[in-house]
Amino acid sequence: MEQKDYLLREIEKLGIVIRAIQQKIFGGSGPPAITLERQEAEAREMLLNEINFDLDRFLQMDLTESEKYVNGFKGFSIENIEALAAFIAKIGFSKQSEPSRTYLEKALQLFEICNIKSKTFSFERENHISALSSALAKPD
């Protein structure tokens, strides 16, 4: 019972951290970052410092490695994976350069991991997948 409570707290804590990072970078009440590059650097640093999630390393992984990496974190529930995917997608959609494709592909992978792990259908998740697929299908 105590172990279950601990896991639930870890899951909740991870979700709070991801949402807090997203809020700070894309819509926080504090002063906005100077540039998109600065926002991205802050996001990377916060993910690494708060939950030990290395975004640079994660962006280089294939689907199998990505799934293993995400599953290696205690507290990465489907909801938290979706929050991370939405966060990465926001970065990808806001970038105007080639690396944005990498972010969009990785966000799509995360949403697909959610579909594999989840026993329930999510219209919101499917909308994200559709938007990401459409963006990736557009010629550069």
Encode pLDDT of 55-99 as tens digits: 999 999 998 999 899 989 887 889 999 999 998 998 888 876 667
The pTM is what? 0.77
Q: Are 21 and 54 in contact (CB under 8 A)?
A: no
pLDDT, position 27: 65
pLDDT tens for each residue of 20-47 = 777 776 665 555 444 667 777 888 888 8
Contact (Cβ atoms closer than 8 angstroms) between residue 25 and residue 39: yes
Total domains in the chain come to 1
pLDDT band, very low/low/confident/very high, at 4 (cuts 50, 70, 90): low
Q: What is the DSSP string of 61-111?
A: --HHHHHHHHHTSTT--HHHHHHHHHHHHHHHHH--STHHHHHHHHHHHHH
Domain that holds residue 124: 2-137
